[in-house]
Each structure stands twice: as structure tokens, then as C-alpha cells.
Amino acid sequence: MRGGLSVERIPVAGPWITEKEIRYATDAATHGWYARAGEYPARFERAFADYVGRRFAVALPSCTSAIHLALRGLGVGPGDEVIVPDSTWIATAAPISYVGATPVFADVDPVTWCLSAQSIEQCLTPRTRAIIPVDLYGGMPDYAALLALADARGVPVIEDAAEAVGSEFHGRRAGSFGAASVFSFHGSKTLTTGEGGMLVTDDEALHRRVLVLRDHGRQPGDKLFFNTEVGYKYKMSPVQAALGLAQVERMGELLARKREIFGGYRDGLAGCPGVSLNAEPPGTLNSYWMVTAVFAPETGLTCTRAMAVLDAAGIDSRPFFHPLSSLPAYAGQPQAVAARARNRIAYDLSPRAINLPSALCLTREQVARVCAVVKDLLAQAG
């Protein structure tokens, strides 16, 4: 309540659904059975592959399952190491444990908050079998330098573009880098199917291997239920795919809305000392999945304090990702202990950064309201 009036709470994330999505999903629910059961998944896969600029796409239940299949498809297993950024959601690293390999937590770039070639180089060993850079919050790492290093060492790259549909690096869209790329379509993402994910690749052999692994070890087109190995049940339903197809066809306006929301924050906080937002280095286009504010050290502001103030004002927010190596899930693991001593930037960013409301439904007035609270917070800190 404010002044005796109820103020609508501002959400941190959420989709933009139109009649088009409803129409496609209704058609899939009504007709997506029998001979038409695979129609919407196939259309979604083709449309998405075309959008990101890949030859093949495989619709899946999550981005986590996509990383799992990519690792299995590349033959990563026990005794191997896989480099991931310390600043990311645990879903990037968890599938490494699924296949029996060891996650190695590398530091991030202070500007993009993504893996850099330098941070990777510090973590490479003869046991390194893959690198998983993350396009964090819609930002992009320097893929030219990153891929040059990986190629020179013969280490495949799996691009985790879960948060970056629509972003670009020097004219190439997120999802077009490395041996394979993966996406999330969680309800919080720019393009959503409610839950869901996608693996995209240009490698036909990897594509065929993933198709077998995702369907309980059945060869594509198998009619005899004759499993050649133990695999997984990783498929997307026709209704989800129909929703995703409509969203792909609307990617232009979804991306424009995300950038408009970021523009509101940029303008609303312009000239405000003590806070900086997501970077967009020359040659990149940031889709700004999550608008992120980093408070300068001299302000003394923490993520915890900022979240509490925003919450009291009826505004939802999220913390910047805790370093993976700081999580109880990895407590005591040698790689986590080493990362805590090494990854200065990841540990410096996390306590003083926050994700501001970035839902696609936000109005200009709501963005202005958030900016006002942030500015008041900074003024009090000063």
C-alpha cells in the first residue's frame, strides 16, 4: 500500500504472449496428434535453426538437457575436465557432473561478465575436453579470441546461449558459435515455451548422435522400439513447440521490446554516479535478457540491501549469480577451492550487483518507478 492505494508489484521476469501464440498452441492441442504429432516440433526446430544460422536444431525439455546431450555427444566423461565461468547459473555446470567429468571454474571479464580467452588459458590442462562459455544476461564474450584459443588447443566449445537469444557478436547471432550451442525457453526467458530448450549445431554426426541419445537410445525413424543403447527421454511436446514457433516468428518485436526496456533504465539512470549497467562493446548487440545494475564499491551498497529496499517498494529483483565455486553444492571440491582463490572478478561482482525487473510486460512508468527507487537508494548511500 502507498498513500492508501494498492500499488501493483513489478515482476522481475516474464513473457509476452499474444493471440498468435494462443492460436498456434490451440491448434497443436486440437490437432497435434496421430500423423501430425511431430509437425510443430519439426517446424519449431527448422525456424529456430534458420533464425540463429545453424544447420540443425533439436527441441528439448530444457537447456540443461541440451548441455547434457552436447557433452555426451562429444564423448566427455569420467576423468575429463570442462571449463565454465564461475559467474553463471548452476545449470551450466551440473551436466558436467552428470557425465562424470569435473567442472573447472574460470574467472570472468570485468566488462562483459563473460569468459575471456585469458581466464580460460589459466584453467587449461591436458584433461580439458570442452569449454562452455555463457552469454551472460544477453551479453557476449569475445568469441574471436575465445575460439582461436580453443581451436589452437583442439578443445570443442559448447556455447551456452540460454539467456541470449537475439544477441549478436560481429554480425553473427548468439547460438552460432562452437561445436554446439544451447538455449533455454524457461518462462522467464525472452523466447519462451514455458519450459524447454534447444540444441543447435552444424555438425551432422553430432546431430545424429543427439537424436539417438534423446530418445532412449533409439535410431531416428525406428518403428520396432529396438533400443541400441541406454539413452534419455528428452523431447518437447507439440503444444510447447507451437508456442515456441510463434515466438520465433515474433523475435524481432521481442528483441525490440527488451532493448526498449533497457533503454528506459539507461536513460533513467543516466548521469547517476555509483551505478553501471550491462555493457554492449563495439561489434556486439546485447539482447538484455536481464538488466543488471552494478554498484560501485565506494557506495557501500550490496545486492542484499538493494533487494530489500526494492522489495519494500513492491519491486521484484534477483541477485547477480553467486560464483559457482562459492555454492554449498561444490563445497570442498578441489576445483572450487582453487577458484575461490583465483577468481577475483567473479567474487567482486556478485555481492554488489543485482538484476532489475526485465519482464517483457513492463511499462515505461514501471521502469521509471524502479529507477526512482535505485536513485533514492544511491542518494542515501552517498
What are the residue numbers of the active site? 189
Which among 200, 152, 192, 203 is positioned nearest to 176, based on CA atoms? 200
Strand 318-319 and strand 353-355: the pairing is antiparallel
CA 341, CA 122: separation in Å to the nearest integer?
Answer: 13
CA 199, CA 70: separation in Å to the nearest integer?
Answer: 8
Helix, strand, coil percentages for the chain (3-state, nearest 5): 45, 15, 40
**Number of alpha helices (DSSP H) and beta strands (DSSP E) in the chain:** 13, 14
How far does CA 6 lie from the centroid of its chain? Answer: 34
Q: How many other β-carbons are positioned within 10 Å of the β-carbon of residue 155?
A: 18
Burial class (CB in 10 A: 0-12, 13-18, 19+), 281: middle
Q: Are 196 and 236 in contact (CB under 8 A)?
A: yes
Q: Are 236 and 224 in contact (CB under 8 A)?
A: no
CA 157, CA 117: separation in Å to the nearest integer?
Answer: 12
